[in-house]
Amino acid sequence: METVEQIDCNLLDKMKTQSLVLTVAAASAAGATYICPASLSSSDAAAIMYGYKVQGLLESYYNSVPVNASYFESLPNAKMTASNGMTLAENTVTNVEGLTKQAQLGTKALKELGMMLGLSPDECNYMLPPAPNGTAHLMNAFYLEATMCGAFIGLTDYVQAPEAAFLTARLSAEHGIHASAIGAMMQPVGFMPNSTMLTPAFTPDMILQDGMEVGKLGTWLNGCATAPSAPCGGTVTIGELLATLSSGNKSTGGMGMNGTTGMGPNGTSSTPPTYSGPVSNAATSAKASFLGGSFALAVAAYMT
């Protein structure tokens, strides 16, 4: 005669088995929605080419500015010695050289991905932001890295192959890390408790607009890059938390928390930052946008 414990154990085993069968069935049903084989195709080519040229702007900018310790003497506490025995200026040189290398690797990765499709991108004649001193150089680097973080987040919606989606996700994470690190060099608080949005993301149409603020690179790309088409002939709209892909009368995805989008379908923002002044104003606008509109530090102190 079975005990109560034995009965319970037998019943539990049956429930586990049924649960496993249901899980496998659900996974099989989900997998049936994929278009296989999932590999690079011509539909990814324009997006990869756009990403390559955007990434190339960052590499070109870093390579255009020779750096040394005296170049960063304009930074506050530039001569203060850190725990590794080097001054802040010397450590900044090492970090910037590391950022330059990462920019080169990003360009290399996109080029290798494009070569899988037989792409041979033409080189761009970029315009580059001026960097009269080390402080301005860091502000420019922040603006470019923060913008490219959002650019590659947005580009993920424009690729279809897993290889391409993986690289765009990896690059967006890397640029976000770089922007946060540069921001930490210049101000003590990088994340505001009253922010209402995730890390900003930008469609290619937004990125190609002229201006010098986070989310716009058109001035510096100088007509070199072309925006890829959104998948399914639709329009990508980016909100505070989610993105929406609209195709005809149908849409997928979601809006912001309050049902409104942070960015409109034509690349406009409900509360867009503006810029019409010198580099210091551009840097302030860039940081405010990247930090969810809550940046309040006096950046002017760093730009003198």
Mind listing the pLDDT tens digit for each residue in 147-195? 999 999 999 999 989 999 999 999 999 999 999 999 887 766 667 778 8
Torsion sign (Cα): 293, 167, 138, 220? negative
- Strands in 235-238's sheet, in edge-to-edge order, are 235-238, 243-247, 250-253
pLDDT band for position 35 (50/70/90)?
A: low
- Check residue 1 and give its pLDDT: 52
User: Is the pLDDT confidence value at 136 over 50?
Assistant: yes
Beta-strand ranges (E) seen in 187-289 are 235-238, 243-247, 250-253
The token pair that represents 234 in the structure block: 């639709």
Q: E-assigned strands of the chain?
A: 235-238, 243-247, 250-253
State pTM to two decimals.
0.72
pLDDT at 36: 64
pLDDT for 165: 94
At 265 the pLDDT is 29
Domains in the chain: ranges and CATH: 40-194+291-302 (1.20.1260.10)
Surface-to-core class of residue 66, CB atoms within 10 Å of its CB (0-12 exposed, 13-18 middle, 19+ buried): exposed
Q: Could you report the per-residue pLDDT of 237-257, keeping only the tens digit for each? A: 988 888 888 875 444 443 332
Per-residue pLDDT tens over the stretch 51-69: 999 999 999 999 999 999 9
**Which residue's entry shows tokens 């150089």?**
137
User: Could you tell me where the beta strands, DSSP code E, fall in 240-292?
Assistant: 243-247, 250-253
Measured CA to CA, the distance from residue 233 to residue 251 in angstroms comes to 12
Q: Is residue 228 predicted with pLDDT exceeding 80?
A: yes
Please tell me what DSSP assigns to residue 201: -
